[in-house]
Structure 1
Amino acid sequence: MAIGNLSDRTEFLLLGLSQDPELQPLLFGIFLTIYLITAAGNLLIILAIIFDSHLHTPMYFFLSNLSFTDFCFSTTIIPKMMVNIQTQDKSISYIGCLTQICFVLTFAGLENGILVMMAYDRFVAICHPLRYTAIMNIKLCALTVVLSFVISVLDALLHTLMALRLSFCTDIQIPHYFCELAQLLKLACSDILINNILVYVVTSLLGVIPLCGIIFSYTQIVSSVIKIPSASGKYKAFSICGSHLIVVCLFYGTGFGVYLSSSGSHSSPKSAIASIMYTVVTPMMNPFIYSLRNKDMMEALGKLLSRTLSFH
């Protein structure tokens, strides 16, 4: 295959989940439904938290930011995929591909940071309840979200700018439904050693270390909850953490699973299907996980809906 410089590359082809023409209308309908549910669910949670003063606490501050991140994450991926399915045009421009990679890495990193802070919030609430208000003040909460955002943007820009130095073979086909960094690196004809080193180092720093922090927080939480004498007290403590644990397992479990499997194989149809879990399903499920398991959240959503209906 011929090799072209970056200046010669105008577009890539996203092969999507299936090339069967008969499946395209079904895929379009499924992902349109998923996107509408994701957008509506996460925006409802944000509005409910904004309009209910009882939810103006660190826990719900982080939840509203998580919902915003999930909405942006889905918007970065699903609309472009639906356009490609509807128009039967699988192309994405070179700049568009790098831009999508940058935004995907930014919002994935931001979600990672918010999940860590939510674990720390639960750790302080259960293990140090008397000092909770003093420790988890609004300045700390806002600072951690901003810091997570800045780190995520810098990480995304680093990987994106390093991808600019690569050359690619002609007739580039990405066996995925969005521009994923791991898949793009596999298609490069130039040396990707530095890029791979950066991926592994940054994944260790920004992925493994925060996950270890979450695990440490929950070992301390479990240790404290076991000491609670009443069964109702233990149940309440575990129920507070249950939703967050489910989301953590979905996000990290599927995310690490995809990258570990994709790093060992050049054939990625299965990787593309597995990626749906953390890029599409998790953002859609988060509103249900946090609302259906949370009485305060359900009451706030009920108030919001009744207030909305009263205006009509």
Structure 2
Amino acid sequence: MSVRGHDMDQRFLLACAQAGDERAFRRLVEPYRHALEVHCYRMLGSAHDAEDLAQETLLRAWRALERFEPRAQFQTWLYRIATNACLDELERQPRRPEPVDPFPDRPSDQTASPTYDPAARYAIREGMELALLRAIQELPGRQRAVLIFRDVLGWTAPEVAEVLESTVASVNSALQRARATIDQHLPETTRPAADPDERELLSRYVAAFEHADMDGLVALLREDAILRMPPQPSLAGGLRIAHFFLETVARGDLTRIRHRPTWANGRPAVTIEVRAQDDTWIPHGISVLEIEEGQIAGIDAFLDPTLLPRFGVPAGR
């Protein structure tokens, strides 16, 4: 469909939806649903909360639809509602003690502004990086929104000012303060371009557990690798990490751990299931791998079985 045809179709759906047609409204908002969920995830750092807030956004949009002016940008209007919903949530729970949890990759995560600003500091893919998202959680709500719009999505300052119903000067000031805070909390090293061998390394990681290949697992891990398991303390050292998996998680048998390869937050990842005594597989969590120079430099383990359905694995036994 041409751009003109798409605009005409959207105007028709909008008119029907404003007349009370719920089916037209669902068709109208469906192209934006996932992008709104990703936006809420970046704002809140929680995949569970993001899903709820995306639903809340669409509910608020439906209730306010009759007041929407057709000459305005529908996407901008939806992002304003989503951002306000997130800001309301942050006011209710300003400090989030829980860690950022993983989010499955989809091509539509890379939703930039049609007028993408080259001054944006992070590529869209980097905008899903766990390290950046953790740093974003240190910001006050409106600074989070400004940084995400400006430095991740690449929106211009006037676009952001429109969403936040603010001024360009206020947006620029908030961005300057947000960048200073991010620079304090973000690691100096940034993610390199995607390694074409990442998929192969991911397969070898899965196979090491399938074949109880302890030596192969140790070889995949850098000597200074870090295993992060919030809220538990981190574990340093490739050999220590391998023995932790073998002795603590697998109870002496690596084949008791089953991994399924996937991708999360722009990185290779695995779902985790542990075999019970009755040979059923119990969902355990998600591990996101950090790969540098052909080895695993870090593992972010999220021991929460309720995360698995997002990655295609049932949460129950």
TM-score normalised by the chain length of structure 1: 0.31
Structure number with higher strand proportion: 2
Structure with the bigger RCO (C-alpha within 8 Å, sep 6+) is 1
TM-score normalised by the chain length of structure 2: 0.31
